[in-house]
Amino acid sequence: MTTPRLQLSGITKRYPSVVANSDVSLTVMPGETHAVLGENGAGKSTLMKIIYGSVKPDAGEVRINGQLMQIRNPKDARANGISMVFQHFNLFDTLTVAENVWLGLARDSLDQVTASIVAKATEYGLDIDPERPVHTLSVGEMQRVEIIRALLTRPELLILDEPTSVLTPQAVDKLFVVLKKLASEGCSILYISHKLHEIRELCNACTVLRGGKVTGVCNPSEESNASLSRMMIGAEPPQLQHRPQQADAVVLAVNGLSLERDDQFGVDLEGIDLQVRGGEVVGIAGVSGNGQKELMYALSGEDGRAPKGSIRMGETDVSALHPGERRKLGLHFVPEERLGRGAVPTLSLAHNLLLTRTGSISLPKFAGGWIKVGALEQHAAQLIKTFNVKAGGPRALARSLSGGNLQKFIVGREIDAQPKLFIVSQPTWGVDVGAAAQIRGEILALRDAGCAVLVVSEELEELFEVSDRLHVISKGQLSPSVPIADASIERIGVWMSGLWDDDLQRHLAELEETTEPGLTGVPGANHAQA
């Protein structure tokens, strides 16, 4: 019989407030693409970190190619042919892409590493500039760096933790070609994802974790999304109720917003026109790095250079207002970066509430310079319960939560503030199917309550589920909006290349050809208006 590439036996890891892994056993064969499936907080990332040497188990054995191993650190792991792409990236912001990759590779020179990055990026369709400082990259671009760095090690076992969470469908297709090729060459792949259709397409084995324990092993290609959901969370995710309704007055109006990039690697915004009304969800699709970050900074107030009159909330010109002043007007914002911008890693969940909620009547105020800690923790505990956040209570540090659970807390914190305008970037990045359904349901509930909602996401499926209208951003320009009923994956994919003008003209021509004489102007006019 073939010797397993990886064999785990009885792996256990305890933390003060939770048992992350309990007696976990798992076997991965050479050339096998093995999914590890489970809801947020099930222990998947902890198990992967144990394999990679970032975390030491309290009990159990790890065997690589039949040999009992003590993997003391990631360097040991890489020396034994193991490479990992983390969900939360391990990159130094002040260094370039090439310098970050160089740190983890045994190469003769930085020039050689740079050439290797260019070659690998071209080969796998993961375009990236090796000379760019990491702090100028979007989240999607950072993920490309991590994937390229892992591929350059020529691993025998490649661990991927949510590798497609911020990749476009086209980029996912290219990545799958790469992964299937690697597997055909004998590389074993451990694949963590909450996208069940990806697991069914790519993987030929699956281990399911629930509460840190193995609850099942299967071949995902023989399962349905529904059966995988039941194995993972014990039930199928609830169906979203997206009822059509009449939108109210304009809450956010962006008129002719043009902004030069604030660094050489950014994207210029050119003539952005955007409206979001109360009681509607407007979605913005696009390939990562096409101006989403710059637009979000301008709307949130982090970039205060917007021309006078270019951004309004209702009748108020907010172009020059900082984020705190915009929050007082009812704008609440969820950034794509959870740790560092959405939450302070070293603060408790309770104290993270104070980042955006000090002006809210529903939270304790500062009183004579003192914080009412008891009331603050009570409110945080209620949020943890309401949004089903798996955490060690309100005093748990933000960095101690899994990515999906931290996302639920941040989204819940801002929704709980009862915003008039809710802007959210990548709302369900790295979130399990049950939690994703909950977050999307909360977004629709906000919309039904009259809130104006703007969702920026690289998950087209998500945008089609929650949006009433869609825009596409490409190279700093925003397409016209299209009602969700008139949109399609194929059409939005074309627009993501910036070709919406050509597509609109072609579509109008097709309408005129198929419309009865005397009525040709009506559909065309309606479509142009839409």
The residue ranking higher by pLDDT, 362 or 331, is 331
* Contact criterion met (CB below 8 Å) for 418 and 217: no
Band of pLDDT at residue 12, cut at 50, 70 and 90: very high
What's the CATH number for 6-233? 3.40.50.300
pLDDT (tens digit, 9 = 90+) per residue, 90-147?
889 889 999 999 986 766 789 999 999 999 888 777 778 999 999 888 777 888 898 8
Band of pLDDT at residue 170, cut at 50, 70 and 90: low
pLDDT at 14 over 50: yes
pLDDT at 40 over 90: no
The residue ranking higher by pLDDT, 269 or 289, is 269
Segment 364-369 shows an average pLDDT of 52
The residue ranking higher by pLDDT, 370 or 407, is 407
Band of pLDDT at residue 7, cut at 50, 70 and 90: very high
Report pLDDT for 366.
45
pLDDT at 523 over 50: no
CATH C-level class of 250-330+419-498: alpha beta
Q: Which of 27-31, 169-173, 273-277 has the lowest mean pLDDT?
A: 169-173
Report pLDDT for 525.
36
pLDDT at 526 over 80: no
Mean pLDDT rounded to a whole number for the chain: 87
Q: How far is 220 from 213, CA to CA, in rounded Å? A: 19
Q: Look at the block and give the residue holding tokens 């931290």.
A: 406
pLDDT (tens digit, 9 = 90+) per residue, 480-491?
999 999 999 888
Q: In DSSP terms, which residues pair with 33 in a beta bridge?
A: 189
As a whole-number percent, the residues of the chain with pLDDT over 90 amount to: 57
Band of pLDDT at residue 461, cut at 50, 70 and 90: confident
State the first-to-last Cα distance of the chain, in angstroms, to the nearest integer.
62
pLDDT at 16 over 90: no
Sequence-ordered list of residues with C-beta below 8 angstroms from that of 431, at least 6 positions apart, any chain: 40, 194, 403, 404, 407, 408, 439
* Contact criterion met (CB below 8 Å) for 213 and 437: no
Band of pLDDT at residue 511, cut at 50, 70 and 90: low
Q: How far is 34 from 21, CA to CA, in rounded Å? A: 18
Q: How far is 274 from 368, CA to CA, in rounded Å? A: 42
Token digits for 109?
């020179």
Where b means 16+ CB within 10 Å and e means fewer, 169-192 reads bebbeebeebbeebbeeebbbbbb
pLDDT at 367 over 60: no
Report pLDDT for 361.
46
* Contact criterion met (CB below 8 Å) for 408 and 383: no
pLDDT (tens digit, 9 = 90+) per residue, 393-424?
999 999 988 778 899 999 999 999 999 999 99
* Contact criterion met (CB below 8 Å) for 438 and 387: yes
pLDDT at 157 over 80: yes
| Within this chain, domains 6-233 and 250-330+419-498 share the same CATH topology | yes
pLDDT (tens digit, 9 = 90+) per residue, 239-264?
777 888 889 999 999 999 999 998 88
Segment 17-26 shows an average pLDDT of 92
Report pLDDT for 527.
35
Q: How far is 452 from 450, CA to CA, in rounded Å? A: 7
pLDDT at 38 over 80: yes
Q: In the chain, what are the domain boundaries?
A: 6-233, 250-330+419-498, 503-530
Q: In DSSP terms, which residues pair with 367 in a beta bridge?
A: 370
pLDDT at 213 over 70: yes
